[in-house]
Amino acid sequence: MRRRTWGTTAVLLAVCAGLAPVGTAQAAPGGSEPLPLQRLFDNRAVSDDRAPGEADFDGTGGSLSAQDLTAAGWTPGRGLGVERARLTWPRSAGGGADNVTADGQRVRVSGRGDALAFLVAGTGGDAGGAGTVRYADGSRSAYTLTAPDWRTGPLATKAVALPHRNTPDGQLTEKTKLYVVTVPVRTGRQITSVELPEATAGGAALHVFALSVRARTTGWTGTWSASTAGYPTVGPWVDRTVRLVVHTSTGGPRVRVRLDNTFASTPVRIGGASVAVRESGAGARGTPVPLTFRGATGTELPAGTQAFSDPVDFDVPADADLLVSFHLPDPVAAAPVHSQAIQRSYVSGPGDHAGEAAGTAYTSTISYWPLLTGVDVGGGPGSVVLLGDSITDGVKSTQDANHRWPNVLATRLLAQSRVPRYGVLNQGISANKVATDRYVGDGISTDTGGVSALHRLDRDVLAQTSARTVVVFQGVNDVRWGASAEQVVAGLREIVARAHARGLRVVGTTITPCEGEALCTAAADAERVAVNAFVRGPDSGFDGVLDFDAVVRDPAHPSRIRAEFDSGDHLHPGDAGLRALAESVDLRVLEP
């Protein structure tokens, strides 16, 4: 396989929100000492609904609603976990200056990590520019930060969306948004300060509410994951315990789980939670081990945020089913879900049954995974992330059998010693596209095809636990729904650039054939063939290529899947085809 090296100068893209003139910003003198971010606050973005004129976020009197923020769980001083970073919503929000309008200020920041996380929004349009990170050894690195506009920025990448915009004349029913944007730093070096981008001409302003160093994940390997695909109605559940069945790739002596309230507008409260090895059905092998969150038996996840459980000693076996259980004491009528689990999980009758080994309390089944997005184990060499669509998701594989090609790949890794036995993280979403959102990213979802690979890349790949390599296997849904090869290629190039900028190895795959499926027309196949030519070509930027098209196509009819690999719908390989994909992987291509 060929290997290409991309420098950290690869283009970084981020997202933004806002529509208004620049607020006045006090730029710190170039030689001044850096100050804590809150000491630099010079703008007020949040107003009480009863006094909307007290804030002026955008220079025209517009502001965020304090009551909307409270309803979302974003209360003053609240810690917010987003994309593995820990940020704090300003304590002054709703009562004074709560953000700084970026204009070259030097911010005191301390820590070592793999990224800086900014809680931002633009006003007057998307806003951004170049800044500088300074390190204790005297070195510096540059970064580029872009904040989408608080009114017109995309819903698909927002951290939180609020239903109103306050104005001096009253409240308007109009979405307002805040964003978390991460930028890479020199991994492992002690950061001492960050210089914000300077203000630019044109009326757009970049507002920073919070900033932190995202610690690099050490001592953990991701063993299981699932991408949030939408926010549909569930239950409704009140005082119910959800017991989810997930299958590990690698094992370890400790465990923690990750819960995500992605796409939500309201908080969700978690009561008791536990983890256990599955015996059968909803029954555990031995008493489930209780999980805590920052020392408490439960936690609340504000809208758009995530929480990791505290590490707990627990022998997690490789290639085995776990039961992750959590009690939902309050009403839950909609939730972020991974829709195509291809695995039955369980919901109890009333009460907290997370600590029970017996499965008798679990009286109903579900075929999706709500809220749970990751399971990590202690130690290990890190993880391989598989970014894909329904074929990676396992659609048309046998239910409850773990015959997805990522499962087969994980089993192959466990059975050898030539390369590290990486954890395998399945980030496939059925119906997902490279460049276009299926789900807009906000509100109750009727489509669970997720936001685009470009819009979920930060969350589903770059922020995954100990990610080392990403395998990109997408594009068939784009061409089936009318996208050109040029659009898909542009998206793939962006994925490669952004992943390389974070130090990940990027492996591309060719798109498998699908003639005979209703949307796989001759025109769609021509675009597929063109994308594959790019992936195989010398200028793709991929560090390695897996030719999945060649693995499953019919030699006598290359636009079709071979009959023995076809699930019957001519688009998705069945169990035999998925196994063939996994067995074709030269495991050495996964090594960074």
Antiparallel, parallel or unpaired: β 505-509 and 467-473: parallel
d(CA 135, CA 40): 21
- Residue 31 has a pLDDT of 52
List, as one string, the DSSP characters of 183-241.
EE--TTPPEEEEEPPPP-TTS-EEEEEEEEEEPPP-SEEEEEE----B--EEEEESSEE
- Residue 427 has a pLDDT of 98
- Residue 32 has a pLDDT of 80
CB 539 within 8 A of CB 508: no
Helix (H), strand (E) at residue 478: helix 476-480
- Residue 203 has a pLDDT of 86
d(CA 221, CA 385): 11
CB-based burial, 382-401: b 16+ in 10 Å, e otherwise: bbbbbbbbbbbbbbbbeeee
- Residue 7 has a pLDDT of 31
CB 537 within 8 A of CB 510: no
d(CA 291, CA 453): 32
pLDDT tens string for the chain (592 positions)? 323 223 333 333 333 333 233 333 344 444 589 999 999 999 999 999 999 999 999 999 999 999 999 999 999 999 999 999 999 999 999 999 999 999 999 999 999 999 999 999 999 999 999 999 999 999 999 999 999 999 999 999 999 999 999 999 999 999 999 999 999 999 999 999 999 999 987 789 999 999 999 999 999 999 999 999 999 999 999 999 999 999 999 999 999 999 999 999 999 999 999 999 999 999 999 999 999 999 999 999 999 999 999 999 999 999 999 999 999 999 999 999 999 999 999 999 999 999 999 999 999 999 999 999 999 999 999 999 999 999 999 999 999 999 999 999 999 999 999 999 999 999 999 999 999 999 999 999 999 999 999 999 999 999 999 999 999 999 999 999 999 999 999 999 999 999 999 999 999 999 999 999 999 999 999 999 999 999 999 999 999 999 999 999 999 999 999 999 999 999 999 999 999 999 999 999 999 9
d(CA 503, CA 6): 9
d(CA 206, CA 126): 8
- Residue 507 has a pLDDT of 98
* Helix, strand, or coil (residue 15): coil
d(CA 86, CA 88): 7
Task: Provide long-range contacts, Cβ within 8 A and 24+ apart, for 525-534.
Answer: 525/479, 525/559, 527/479, 527/483, 527/484, 527/485, 527/488, 528/475, 528/476, 528/479, 528/485, 530/485, 530/489, 531/475, 531/479, 531/485, 531/488, 531/489, 531/492, 534/485, 534/489, 534/492
> Could you tell me which residues come within 8 angstroms of residue 253 by beta carbon, excluding any fewer than 6 positions away?
313, 314, 315, 316, 377, 378, 379
pTM greater than the 0.85 cutoff: yes
